[in-house]
Amino acid sequence: MRALLCFLTTVLLAAPILAAAQEAVPTETARPDRSATGGAQTLEDILARQRGERIDDSFRSEAIGGSAATVPALGPLGGASDPEIWRALRYNKADVTASAGGDVGKVLVQDGGMRWYRFRRGPLAVYGGYLLLGTIAALVLFYLLRGKVRLDEPTTGRTVTRFQAIERFAHWMMAGAFVLLGVTGLLVLFGRMFIAPYLGKEVNAGLLTGAKFIHNNVSWAFMIALVMIFVMWVWHNIPNRTDLTWFAQAGGIIGKRHPPARKFNGGQKIIFWSVILLGGSISVSGLSLLFPFALPLFAKTFAVLNDLGVPGWIGMEHLPTALAPQEEMQLAQTWHAIIAFLLMAIIIAHIYIGSIGMEGAFDAMNSGEVDEAWAHQHHSLWLDEYKTKQAGRPGGAAGPAE
């Protein structure tokens, strides 16, 4: 559990780092001489920007003129020249009044979109893609080395009910929604890179229109199932001492020993809390994206983190709290995708161990019935409790569940 918390803390800190990286004032190695342009940007500034270098543009962002009183010569223009007004708009410092559109309409120039776009098609797509491919490759390698986790003892022919119908219903509703959300999300991210060049932009556009429709609407089933899963299984997923034993023996996956476990073992608890916390985070950022500009998350979150001094833990001064509505959406999308990649990697491992990775595992979520030998091998404490309960019922005995 401590490892999980460390992991999540790292993840939760990732977005602020990204945001701060976007907002951080760059350190200038050599301040150019701008006397020839009277302080305006020089050719070197423009070339540096085109090379993708970060420059300290405060000489532009702060050159936004003044009032008619401070610059009387420009009285009819309100104390600011046209370039100064444009710079004020460019840096979101102009006093804009919009009759419609609210705060969104007041942002006339917003250049954060390029940073978001570059991150999205660059590090996000590259590292996210490698994370998924790496997870699949690792599982293939593991399967080749370890093979399927088989039953050590022959099946008894007696079954016990591992999951009730409502539990399996919620699991499969979530599973179906998650697969659809994952596939359509990947199509939206990678379509322009891998589909449009080969199948054409028309095909890609059609696919993305469908993907967006499915992604937006299937999300509700995922969120409902997430709540159902949490309510039904949270009690069984409270970490306890048996988990330490389970982890110490690597869950029996490596080696031949099979540590005792209750209804859910340590590995399953990691899956559960990953789904709840990461899935919850994806849901919240997804709601922010479903209702654009209505549910901004990051400025308030950053303010809370600043108050707690969290940025100082990693050597940062503070996180930006004055975010344009568009920046909120860009950060929400970035966060949504990063966490989704993490959860997809975890779920790929879950799918592996729940299907081809372990003999008999799929039955638990398919029919709900597992052989006693399977239950004894993987969830011995739970089987003991189950039998005790069955024996305690009127006319009950530890016999077949059906």
Partner 1 sequence: MKAMLAGFAAMILIGLGAWLALGQMGFSVEEVSSGPNVRLE
Catalog residues that contact partner 1 under the rule CB under 8 A.
100, 165, 168-177, 180, 213-214, 216-218, 220-221, 224-225, 291-292, 365-368
Nearest to 300 by CA among 290, 308, 292: 308
Task: Closer to partner 1 by CB, 222 or 246: give it.
Answer: 222
Task: Closer to partner 1 by CB, 88 or 187: give it.
Answer: 187
Instruction: Report in angstroms how near the CB of residue 275 gets to partner 1 at its nearest.
Output: 15
Instruction: Report in angstroms how near the CB of residue 224 gets to partner 1 at its nearest.
Output: 6
Instruction: Report in angstroms how near the CB of residue 94 gets to partner 1 at its nearest.
Output: 22
Instruction: Report in angstroms how near the CB of residue 171 gets to partner 1 at its nearest.
Output: 7
Task: Closer to partner 1 by CB, 180 or 261: give it.
Answer: 180
Task: Closer to partner 1 by CB, 125 or 329: give it.
Answer: 329
Instruction: Report in angstroms how near the CB of residue 97 gets to partner 1 at its nearest.
Output: 18
Instruction: Report in angstroms how near the CB of residue 291 gets to partner 1 at its nearest.
Output: 7
Helices 325-354 and 266-290: angle between axes, nearest 10 degrees: 150
Task: Closer to partner 1 by CB, 64 or 181: give it.
Answer: 181
Instruction: Report in angstroms how near the CB of residue 217 gets to partner 1 at its nearest.
Output: 4
Task: Closer to partner 1 by CB, 195 or 356: give it.
Answer: 356
- Residues 6+ away with beta carbon under 8 Å from 32: 42, 44, 45
Instruction: Report in angstroms how near the CB of residue 287 gets to partner 1 at its nearest.
Output: 12
Task: Closer to partner 1 by CB, 101 or 147: give it.
Answer: 101
Task: Closer to partner 1 by CB, 365 or 398: give it.
Answer: 365
